[in-house]
Structure 1
Amino acid sequence: MNKKKCSNPMDIHGIEEWMSQFFTDPFTSLLDEQTFRLDLFETGEDFFVEAELGEAISTEMINITVNREHLYITVLEGNQEKHEKKRTVVLPFSIERKKIAASFTNGILEIKISKSIPSSPPSPFIIING
């Protein structure tokens, strides 16, 4: 995936270009099929990442971490033989100090990243509300 960043992350053209690159990248479609499907969208106040993980997954099996502009989603599957499915979302700006909330309902993980509200205190680990 082209990891091009825009100089002004709140520049609407830069955000649209970043989202377009994400959705048109053939590797994204392949990862959707081999791991789990991801969708990105935004509102005036927030960015959203939705992951379709399935009903058999529980919040204890999901890890979400943040490092600069990277959002990492890891899902652990299996009982005796551990199997991980991972996806990384690279945003066009740092999200380490942004307020991030996650919830998991009916097999859908929703991660909400505030455009303007800072995290207090910043943490690399995101707690999932179920």
Structure 2
Amino acid sequence: MNKKKCSNPMDIQGIEEWMSQFFTDPFTSLLDEQTFRLDLFETGEEFIVEAELGETISTDEINITVNKEQLYISILDGNQVERERRRTVVLPFSIEKKKITACYTNGILEIKISKSTPSHLSSRHITING
């Protein structure tokens, strides 16, 4: 007799595995007051990092730096008694020699990392267009 194997919605091991994966995911939306939400997208030409910062932030308060395969985003929020929020995005390859552009509009910071266009700079600060 051929019986179908059905997944049990109350399978504790599966739930524990999912919860562990969910809470260790750096892009999860459960955040504290010292961080912000990030999303990572990929197109044929570039990788796109979107950060939800809120509309009360100005481009002067945003700092983006690159070092090897890491992208650092920090915000010094002057409206919140000089509180700093930061995130680090670690990619599985070096991005320091890639062309990187950033734009901040309507509370969303969008960082584009070109897959093919090189940059002649190494460790560097990224200018934000607003």
TM-score (norm 2): 0.75
Aligned residues: 107
Runs of 5+ in structure 1 lacking a partner? 1-23
Q: Kindly report which structure 2 residues correspond to 1:1-130, keeping only aligned pairs within 5 A, or say none.
A: 24-27=21-24, 28=26, 32-34=30-32, 35-79=35-79, 81-122=81-122, 124-130=124-130
Rg bigger for which structure?
A: 2
- Cα shift at 1:121: 3.8
Q: Determine if contact 2:27/2:38 at 8 Å carries over to the other structure.
A: no
User: Which is helix-richer, 1 or 2?
Assistant: 1
Q: Output the CA distance in 1 between the equivalents of 2:80 and 2:105.
A: 26
Instruction: Provide the identity percentage.
Output: 65
Q: Output the CA distance in 2 between the equivalents of 1:63 and 1:86.
A: 9
In structure 2, what residue type is equivalent to 1:89? V
CA RMSD of aligned residues (A): 1.9
Q: Which runs of 4+ in 1 moved over 2 A?
A: 27-32, 78-81, 120-123
Q: Secondary structure at the match of 2:124?
A: coil
Q: Deviations over 1:17-74 (max 9, x none)?
A: xxxxxxx551325675221100001000100000000000010000000010000000
